[in-house]
Structure 1
Amino acid sequence: MKITVETTVAAPIEQVWRAYTSPDDIKRWNAASDDWRTTAATVDLREGGTFSSRMEAKDGGMGFDFAGTYTKIVAPRLIEYLFGDRTASVEFTDAEGGVNVRVTFDAEATHTIEQQRGGWQAILNNFARYVARSQ
């Protein structure tokens, strides 16, 4: 099953693309809630290139790596990637007031659809707030 989350970011597409693909920016916005953070990020933004983000609870209680391989890059409009045995795509389209960012990904079996959608949407909302503040 595919899950889709999206938001509109009030910024030019070049700024939105850069914030989504820059490791320094990713460390600032990539968290679903205030008690989590991304402590490290790497990006090799090319087809066949890899990415990785280390996400950790601020209390040090747990953490995990989110990593994958880019399968298609059409700057500044589309990113497709594999993570584990799942796929995802990120589309950047012009919208009134900014850029619509739509993330579609394969669901996994461990968490409910609602939990997955909620977590990914929270991260995307955090991204939109970060970019808007960065202008």
Structure 2
Amino acid sequence: MPISTVTSDPTALTLTVVGEYGVPVARLWDAFCDPRQLERFWGPPTWPATFTRHDMVEGGRSEYVMTGPDGERARGYWTFVSVDPGRGFEVLDGFAHEDGSPDDTLPTTRMRVDLEQTATGSRFTAASSFASLAAMEDLAAMGMVEGITAALGQMDEVLADLAAFAAGRATQVALLSDTVVRVTRAIRGSVDQVWRAHHDPDLVRRWMLGPDGWTMPVCEIATVAGESYRYVWERADGRGRFGFEGELLETAAPYRSVTTEQMMGTDGPATRNEMTLTPIDGGTLITVVITYPTTELRDQILGTGMVDGMEASYLRLEESVLAAA
């Protein structure tokens, strides 16, 4: 059983969970960095979590929803107070309304997660602090202790899969809802290198090309919120020209950007693309959450081979750009 102790201290207003795992600290850290792994244990088995945002940097924010057996939904968020890569992090952990805004009628806790190496692997310690005894009792009555014990009890299986995750780094897609898609890819390069590769026009032209045989004659990058960007592709023989354009809504270099995206020459509504870069063991995890205006458009775009094109581009990024950096 991975969870070794669960200690509730009403005097200190804390709840401390300790787990022991037979994997290196780096593997344990990756489980928290990757939303695909995190959502497999941040929620009891009957209330699995889905993360739609995960900015694991100081000042960043994560958003998730847990879904019950009868379709009930409970939203939550983390605000990162501090992040010590590979060693731990501290968050404000709260409940949220359906639109993602904080629900101030329910208690917020402060959770500190520490990871440390042991003789047999690694140790995980999560210490949650409560604002008052009443808040602690309210959350206990809601089943917090039982829930966190059941949720973290799933980590052994998740950690066993991390070796496969590290070996199989290809682009993966997850359908989060009828209109929201999450694309992830582990890249062999630092966060700074991957960020630069997305924002230096000369570098972008070398890798963001999809399948072989395409060029990018137009590459206009937006670097400040409110600016517009434009990408145009065409075949090497000049045929098949098309492009995308949009606006940069948010940017926090070198880990997060939010843009709109629309095919040039069309009148339909744009998608919203949220890209997050997270350092992991051996490289950077790219996460792109795409919100489509309709399910039909989502299916239409996925049906074009978008994911295969992204994988071809990311592979080119590793082999032609980052390998030479």
Distance 1:78 1:23 in 2: 18
Report whether the alignment pairs 1:90 with 2:268.
no
Please, which of 59, 74, 89 is the counterpart of residue 252 of structure 2? 74
Q: Which amino acid aligns with 2:229?
A: F
1:118 to 1:96, Cα distance in 2 relative to 1, 3 A: same
Q: Give 1:103 shift.
A: 1.8
- Is the CA contact 1:11–1:99 (under 8 Å) kept in the aligned structure 2? yes
The 10-residue stretch of structure 1 (108-117 or 12-21) with the greater mean CA deviation from structure 2: 108-117
Q: Which amino acid aligns with 1:4?
A: R
- Is the CA contact 1:6–1:124 (under 8 Å) kept in the aligned structure 2? no
1:97 to 1:43, Cα distance in 2 relative to 1, 3 A: same
Distance 1:32 1:12 in 2: 22
1:134 to 1:40, Cα distance in 2 relative to 1, 3 A: farther
What's the % identity of the aligned pairs? 21
- SS at 2:305 equivalent: helix
Q: Give 1:67 shift.
A: 1.2
- SS at 1:11 equivalent: coil
Q: Which residue of 2 aligns with 1:27?
A: 205
Please, which of 5, 12, 17 is the counterpart of residue 195 of structure 2? 17
Distance 2:183 2:315 in 1: 10
Distance 1:31 1:2 in 2: 24
Q: Which residue of 2 aligns with 1:132?
A: 322
Unaligned runs of 5+ in 2: 1-178, 263-269
Distance 1:6 1:125 in 2: 13
- Is the CA contact 1:38–1:53 (under 8 Å) kept in the aligned structure 2? yes
Q: Give 1:54 shift.
A: 1.3
Q: Which amino acid aligns with 1:73?
A: T
Unaligned runs of 5+ in 1: none
TM-score of the aligned structures, taking structure 1 as reference length:
0.87
Instruction: Flag the structure with more relative contact order, 1 or 2, with Cα contacts below 8 A and sequence separation at least 6.
Output: 1
1:11 to 1:120, Cα distance in 2 relative to 1, 3 A: closer
TM-score of the aligned structures, taking structure 2 as reference length:
0.39
Q: Which residue of 1 aligns with 2:167?
A: none
Q: Give 1:93 shift.
A: 0.1
Q: Give 1:112 shift.
A: 4.2
The 10-residue stretch of structure 1 (40-49 or 98-107) with the greater mean CA deviation from structure 2: 98-107
- SS at 2:226 equivalent: coil
Report whether the alignment pairs 1:120 with 2:310.
yes
**Number of matched pairs:** 135
Higher strand share: 1
Q: Give 1:9 shift.
A: 2.0
Indicate the RMSD between aligned Cα atoms, in angstroms. 1.9
Distance 1:52 1:73 in 2: 17
- SS at 1:131 equivalent: helix
Q: Give 1:46 shift.
A: 1.2
